[in-house]
Structure 1
Amino acid sequence: MYFLELMKVPRVESKLRVFSFKIQFGSQISEFRKSLNTVNSACNEVRNSLKLKEIMKKILYLGNTLNQGTARGSAIGFKLDSLLKLTDTRASTSKMTLMQYLCKVLAAKTPALVDFHLEFVSLEAATKIQLKSLAEEMQAIIKGLEKLKQELVASENDGPVSEVFRKTLKEFISVAETEVVSLTNLYSTVGRNADALALALYFGEDPALPDAHLSKLLQRS
């Protein structure tokens, strides 16, 4: 009997998708907002870390020292992800990498900076979140809400059989729209903050440091 009545409902498959979206919406929004806040917190922690800024200044000074006398010896900035290159750069006469040398100098001369990583409470969790996945999730939520609106419009011609459905869906869409607008604004903010971390440019600086200059520096240490 239930299925016979169900068959009388226009576009029953579409309505079932509406119910599925409505049921999952709360938890989906909550988890997505949590991920956005995690990435946002990590960006703020990195950008506002005074200890990291001091370390970055020393790295810039070190790079300019190594490149002294060349066109790359007066850089005023570098890409944040270029820090990873420090572990790959070593002198031809030494097993010590530039990262190891930097850590050695920091530990000896400015030990207070060595624990800078303790300021990054959200960073580890943020590294497990891909920005591409966030973009896909945001798009899925927006498209899901759009399909709900389309079904609401289509159900206006269903007659009394969809009256309760239309009323419930209309109320839900009103609430969901507010949530999605808020979420979209947060997503845009997180995107700008994440992009801002990559805006410290080399301005023509080559991250590959000359072995000859690096050899002399490591020998002096």
Structure 2
Amino acid sequence: MHYLCKVLAEKNPTLLDVHLDFVSLEAAAKIHLKVLAEEMQAIVKGLEKVKQELAASENEGPVSDVFRKTLKEFISGSEAEAASVTHLYTEVGKNADSLALYFGEDPTRCPFEQVTTTLLNFVRLFRKAHEENMKQAEVEQKKVEKEAETDKNKGTEEAE
């Protein structure tokens, strides 16, 4: 990794800022698609239970008119929201698969969580290696300057 950073510093220093392209990677690495799927299913099942409650209240007569009206309004808005969540989850799944494919992985064998964790580890190691290279270069530069100063002082003493 240190060698890679050194070569990039010489050939194309703008690539050393690759971490800027992954600003959301740490947050993405915390996402678990299985948990999202379970939560989405819970929402859909909960909405079905509310619909069943509405159907059951139809037999209660005028006593529950306000209740039915409120439930109908809730269901109307909730169905649109549930459909939106389902659509977004489908898009997330497609994007997760595309991400794995982009990095040469099979999405069925390398899940999203593994891809993001691997990328996050790479970016962290890359940044650390670059920082260590910079510190090493700084130390070497100071050493050269100190040697130059020492040589200069020796030359001055010999001239006297």
TM-score by length of 1: 0.44
Aligned twin of 1:137: 39
Aligned twin of 2:139: none
Distance in 2 of aligned mates of 1:148 and 1:181 = 16
Aligned twin of 1:149: 51
Residues 1:108 and 2:5 are matched in the alignment: no
Task: Specify every segment of 5 or more residues in structure 2 that has no aligned partner in the other structure, as ranges.
Answer: 107-160
Residues 1:174 and 2:76 are matched in the alignment: yes
Residues 1:159 and 2:41 are matched in the alignment: no
Please, what is the CA RMSD of the aligned residues? 1.9
Distance in 2 of aligned mates of 1:183 and 1:135 = 10
CA shift, 1:184, in A, is 1.3
CA shift, 1:161, in A, is 2.8
Aligned twin of 1:86: none
Distance in 1 of aligned mates of 2:29 and 2:53 = 38
Distance in 1 of aligned mates of 2:77 and 2:89 = 19
Pick from 26, 31, 39 the counterpart of residue 124 of structure 1.
Answer: 26
Distance in 2 of aligned mates of 1:176 and 1:137 = 15
CA shift, 1:202, in A, is 6.8
Aligned twin of 1:65: none
Higher Cα Rg: structure 1 or 2? 2
Distance in 1 of aligned mates of 2:58 and 2:22 = 52
Percent of aligned pairs sharing the same letter: 71
TM-score by length of 2: 0.59
User: May I ask how many residue pairs the two structures share in their alignment?
Assistant: 105
Q: Which amino acid aligns with 2:78?
A: A
Residues 1:184 and 2:86 are matched in the alignment: yes
Distance in 1 of aligned mates of 2:82 and 2:76 = 10
Distance in 2 of aligned mates of 1:104 and 1:158 = 77
Distance in 1 of aligned mates of 2:18 and 2:9 = 12
Aligned twin of 1:195: 97
